[in-house]
Amino acid sequence: MLTNEFYSQAMQGPYETYDLGSFALEDGGTIRGCKLAYATHGKLNRKKDNAILIPSWFSGTSKIFEQAYIGKGRALDPTKYFIVCANQLGNGVSSSPHNTPAPGGRGCFPRVRIGDDVRAQHELLTKHFGIEELALVVGGSMGAQQTYEWAVRYPDMVKRAAPICGTAKNTDHDFLYTQTLMDAITSDPAWKDGWYASHEDVHVGLRRHAKLWAVMGFSTEFYKQEVWRGLGFSSVDDFMTNFLEAYFTAMDPNALLTQAWKWQRGDVSRHTGGDLKKALARIKAKTFVLPIDEDMFFPVRDCAAEQKMIKNSELRVLKSICGHLVVVGLDPDYLRQLDEHLKELLSLPA
């Protein structure tokens, strides 16, 4: 195991952990002593029908939802709802390469799929909390992949679904982009096939990885209009070093690789022999599909094509010049738009 302060209770907490025991994975591996880390906000009511689930995105943890998305008077209101923020397996907080004991950790951590995350979260919600229905599942990017997986896998349990800037079946273009993210890390000789002594040794690869996010994670207009100035940076270089590189170099390279591999293969049509239409037809949830207009790798048209296959759904396009990474809360107006859509969705009969 390796120490990485970024994933500690001090940085990402408070969070709880649920013990999944020996958790067998879709791709054949098993995580022994598997821990699902989660944070809750608000209280579960007597009828246990006020629960909202928020799964995490690539590189994200449960903390960001507390910081940017949840609050009294907002859509995700902890005075009304019992909100469970789940850390996806491999994200560094739940069971992950760096915190899993030998022989199954670090470079030997097994492949995890979106379906594994959703099964793990299902066990937490049903066995630990006794929850049988979810008022809402909402998540961005890989959180949207998990949201779709939830709605397809457990259609009777999910009453409402709000996938933000993500798809039910990952595209070929997205697969290629994610591959460049992985290659940026694995091409660093310090990565050593996953057997580095500290994530800090791999900082050059992590910085290259951050640069690819700089290109695809925002929009051309984000740079044209120098939106980074308003975020407190003095130049593009300053923004790169002190925002994106600072963010990613704190993380565990193997955790990012585990998540990227999973992202590449997100696909609800695994349930229906590759038939996406059939898979999405299973969804019973009232669904708002929420792409971001300037997203470069989950473009509106890809999300809209999937939305058309979901019976009880609407397309709600979020506008932000920031592009995909606005999900981390960079633009108050994005959060305002999202809150409006989610309030409306939550007000609709289940």
Q: Give, as one character, the DSSP assignment of residue 15.
A: -
Distances (CA, A) of 210 to 7, 185, 202, 248, 297: 18, 10, 12, 6, 16
208 binds a copy of itself (CB under 8 A): yes
| Binding test (CB under 8 A) with a copy of itself, winner from 8, 45, 187, 198 | 187
Residue 297 interacts with a copy of itself (CB under 8 A)? yes
Contacts (Cβ under 8 Å, ≥6 apart) of 283: 151, 152, 155, 158, 161, 310, 311, 312, 313
DSSP letters for 47-106? TS--EEEEE--TT--THHHHHHTB-TTSSB-TTT-EEEEEPPTTSSSSS-GGGSPTTSSG
Smallest separation, CB 257 to a copy of itself (Å): 16
Helix/strand/coil for 177? helix
Query: Contact between 212 and a copy of itself (CB under 8 A)?
Result: yes
Q: Which stretch binds a copy of itself (CB under 8 A): 51-59, 102-110, 207-215, 251-259?
A: 207-215
With beta carbons less than 8 A apart as the criterion, state whether 319 and 299 touch: no
Q: What is the closest distance, in whole angstroms, from the C-beta atom of residue 169 to a copy of itself in the complex? A: 11
216 touches a copy of itself (CB under 8 A): yes
Identity of the residue, 23 or 218, whose beta carbon is nearer to a copy of itself in the bound complex: 218
**Cβ at position 303, least distance to a copy of itself in Å:** 11
Nearest of 143, 9, 119, 124 to residue 63 by alpha carbon:
9
Distance in angstroms (rounded) separating the CA atoms of residues 157 and 71:
25
Q: Give whichever of 108 and 216 is closer to a copy of itself, judged by the CB atom.
A: 216
C-beta closer to a copy of itself: residue 86 or 292: 292
Q: Closest approach of Cβ 315 to a copy of itself, in Å?
A: 17
State which of positions 124-153 bind a copy of itself (CB under 8 A).
none
Strand, coil or helix: what is 267? strand
Which span sits near a copy of itself by CB under 8 A: 73-81, 106-114, 145-153, 293-301? 293-301
> Nearer to a copy of itself by C-beta: 1 or 176?
176
Residue 126: what residue type?
Answer: T
CB neighbour burial string for 5-35, b if at least 16 within 10 angstroms, e if fewer: ebbeeeebbebeebebeebebeeeeebeebb
Six-digit token string for 110: 């097994």
Taking the least distance from each CB to a copy of itself, the nearer of 43 and 211 is 211
**Residues with catalytic annotation?**
141, 295, 324
Q: By CB under 8 A, is residue 21 in contact with a copy of itself?
A: no
Q: Are 45 and 61 in contact (CB under 8 A)?
A: no
Largest CA distance in the chain: 55
Residue 299 in contact with a copy of itself, rule: CB under 8 A: yes
Residue 69 engages a copy of itself in binding (rule: CB under 8 A)? no
H-state helical runs in the chain: 9-12, 63-68, 114-123, 142-153, 172-186, 203-216, 220-224, 227-230, 236-239, 246-249, 253-264, 276-281, 300-307, 332-347
Cβ proximity to a copy of itself, 98 vs 207, nearer residue: 207
Task: Scan residues 232-251 and list those touching a copy of itself (CB under 8 A).
Answer: 236, 240
Q: Is omega for the bond preceding 103 within 30 degrees of 0, making it cis?
A: yes
302 binds a copy of itself (CB under 8 A): yes
Is 224 one of the binding residues for a copy of itself (CB under 8 A)? yes
Shortest distance, CB of residue 299 to a copy of itself, whole angstroms?
A: 5
**188 touches a copy of itself (CB under 8 A):** yes
Per rule CB under 8 A, is residue 280 in the interface with a copy of itself?
no
Show contacts with a copy of itself in window 156-185 (CB under 8 A): 171-173, 175-177, 179-180, 183
Q: Which residues are near a copy of itself by CB under 8 A?
A: 171-173, 175-177, 179-180, 183, 187-189, 204, 208, 211-212, 214-216, 218, 220-224, 226, 236, 240, 296-297, 299, 301-302
